[in-house]
Amino acid sequence: MIVPMKKVLLLALESDSRNALEELRNAGVMQINNAEQSSNDTLLIVENRSKAERVLAELEKFDADADPASKLTGTQVLEKAQSALEKRTAAESEAEKIRRRMVRLEPWGDFKLKTLEELKSQGVFVTLCEGDDEKFAAAQALENICCREISSEGHVHYFVLMGTVQADPEKFPGIVLAEDDDPELLRKKFAELSTAVEESNSELAELARSKEVLKKAIAALGNSLEFQQAVDALTAAGSVVYLTGFVPEPELEVLRSAAKKNGWGLVITDPDENENVPVLLKENKFTRLIKPLFDFLGVLPGYREMDVAGGVLIFFTIFYAMIIGDAGYGALCLILALIAKVKFRSKEALRLPINMLILLSTATVIWGALAGSWFGIPGIPGIKWLTDPATKDGNIQFFCFLLAFGQLALGRVWRAIHEGGLRSYVRHIGWALIVLGNFVLTLKIIVWQGAFPVWMYWVYGIGLLMVMVADVNWKDPADCFQFPFNVIGSFTDVLSYIRLFAVGMAGGCIASSFNNMGLDIFKASVWFIPLGILAILCGHLLNIALAFMSVLVHGVRLNTLEFSNHTGLSWSGQKFKPFKNNNMEE
């Protein structure tokens, strides 16, 4: 459920403002509304934390064991790492410039710039040129000038002109050499810069052993930032300062106790209708299992919306099992999940994702076993309802549409209960009846074709009448115009659930095809058996990867689009983040 929130105005003496914020942070129950503009102190902390995070990202690239005996502080690690990174960046930049110059001069081989200058001072002109076949032929025909080809690439020739007279610079311009364009000196400089880069990397690798210290410093900066933002949120009114925020209703006594102890004033009210209220979900052991999916998607119901975690978990589990569809795949995932549960039992952050994977994998094993699907191997028994070739496709399609009716009708009933009021009940039950009519219509069009039952027309008629009375605003032309499209949309919502059948069937066909491919390779020669096994393994791995992608595309969509449309969810909620002490070391 979504925990009710209260809007709080907190007042304290200006002379005691910082102490008040410290005590408020210790209470840890109030989310403070941030100031519209950040102070210079806040911006400085943000900048310092960004620098530290960039440095940490660079240190994370080095696989270095932690140094428990490190005496460096976070500030020292940051300063030393920044210095090393700046040196490395400068060296890499200069080395790249030199490398490009070396590549440019490479076609003319090795030469000494000093020698060319000495020859020029003695009246011997040496010009490094490049050109096509025609230009090279013209250079060879020059009188009193010696032309020597050094190298060529296709029709491009790199040659040298030498003589006591200089070739026409317009016809043979030659390349422009800088003062230090000497191949040998460039190679030496490049080697020095490469050494400098290696030295910087060595220094960074050593500093990476102290990256845990830097992580603590970043966490401390986060604490400092949060506190400074709270300082910015304080508004002065004479000798009094105040701030506003939100507190979960069950935690009000904690805040009242702190206010009584510290002499604060509190004004507690209900949030305004249009106010952006943070969301705190109260979860039980069952609904918590879907939390990893919501966190991954970054979605949260709005404060005035419903907490549908339980419904999403039930239907998403079924969707997952049907899309993966293979008991063998489910068993592999279940084994991996159980191994991970044992190996990472001390990792609290992984506990929920692993438990969720265990639930989903178990459901997949059950569905696959009922359907007789094990790694795409034909002939494995299951229940007749899901394995009889004559009826199984129709039965699975029926089950898909039954899920559609169950989930979408549940969303409408759930929404009616949440909104309350006679008009809301009439409106949403009317839509639920339309969904029921759509369910029967899809069955008669796609699954078991035949005449439409008479009662379906009555269901449609009553549902449409209820919706027209309680939902359509007949004074609004746009609403009247949109109404027929909403009815059509409710039908396509039901029809959309056929994707569960289609994707599951496609996965089974892919698994079977790779098995047949492997068998064909086996039959070709006994020497090809390893190749056939490899083809089967790679095929199944690819199929598993595609199945997981399908879960994200189709299983998630049915919950966050079709179901959400009928429950009125916008998933626009912002997570409740109380101002509290994280107990991180400075």
Is residue 48 a contact partner of residue 191, using CB atoms and an 8 Å limit? no
- Residue 258 tokens read as 């702190």
CA atoms of 180 and 182, how far apart (whole Å): 5
In contact, 156 and 131? CB cutoff 8 Å: yes
pLDDT in tens for each of the 586 residues of the chain? 899 999 999 999 998 999 999 999 999 999 999 888 888 999 999 999 999 999 999 998 888 787 777 788 888 999 999 999 999 999 999 999 999 999 999 999 888 888 988 998 999 999 999 999 999 999 999 988 999 999 999 999 999 999 998 888 888 888 888 888 889 999 999 999 999 999 999 999 999 988 888 888 999 898 999 999 999 999 988 889 999 999 999 999 999 999 999 999 999 999 998 888 999 998 888 889 999 999 898 889 999 999 999 999 999 999 999 999 999 999 999 999 999 999 998 888 899 999 999 999 999 999 999 999 999 898 899 999 999 999 999 999 999 999 999 999 999 999 999 998 999 999 999 999 999 999 999 999 999 988 899 999 999 999 999 999 998 888 888 889 999 999 999 999 999 999 999 999 999 999 999 888 888 888 887 788 888 889 899 999 999 999 999 999 999 999 989 999 999 888 888 999 999 877 543 3
Task: Look at residue 74 in the predicted model and tell me its pLDDT.
Answer: 86
Question: Burial level of 462, CB count in 10 A (0-12/13-18/19+)?
Answer: middle
* 79-to-72, 75, 207, 219 alpha-carbon distances in Å: 11, 6, 11, 17
CA–CA separation, 53 and 284 (whole Å):
35
Residue type, 551: V
Q: Which of 105, 104, 75 is nearest to 218 (CA)?
A: 75
Asked if 294 and 566 count as a contact pair (C-beta separation under 8 A), the reply is no
Q: Determine the Cα–Cα distance for residues 541 and 511; give it in Å rounded to an integer.
A: 10
Rounded CA gap, 436 and 406, in Å? 9
Q: Identity (one letter) of the amino acid at 129?
A: C
Q: What are phi and psi of 171, to 5 degrees?
A: -85, -35
The residue among 349, 374, 360 whose CA lies nearest residue 312 is 360
The answer to whether 259 and 265 are in contact (CB under 8 A) is yes
Using CA atoms in the order 62, 68, 72, 76, what is the torsion angle rounded to 10 degrees?
30
Inter-residue contact 306 to 42 (CB < 8 Å): no
Q: What is the distance in angstroms between the CA of the first residue and the CA of the last residue of the chain?
A: 37
DSSP single-letter state for residue 562 = I
| 214's tokens | 């830097």
Angle value at C-alpha 169, between 163 and 172, nearest 5 degrees: 75
Q: Which residue, 499, 535, 513, is CA-closest to 378? A: 513
CA dihedral of 142, 146, 151, 152, whole degrees rounded to 10: 10
* 448 CB-contact burial (10 Å; exposed 0-12 / middle 13-18 / buried 19+): exposed
Cα–Cα nearest to 148, from 136, 164, 134, 166 = 136
Residue 131 DSSP code: E
Q: Which residue has tokens 């009933």?
A: 413
Amino acid of residue 444? K
Which tokens hold the place of 120? 């020029």
Indicate the Cα dihedral angle 197, 201, 202, 203, nearest 10°: 100
User: What does the alpha-carbon distance between residue 269 and residue 314 come to, in Å, rounded to a whole number?
Assistant: 37
| Residue 147 tokens, joined | 């032309």
CB 218 within 8 A of CB 5: no
Nearest Cα neighbor of 28 from 576, 584, 580 is: 580
Say what the alpha-carbon torsion angle 128, 132, 136, 137 is, to the nearest 10 degrees: -170
Q: What pLDDT was estimated at residue 583?
A: 56
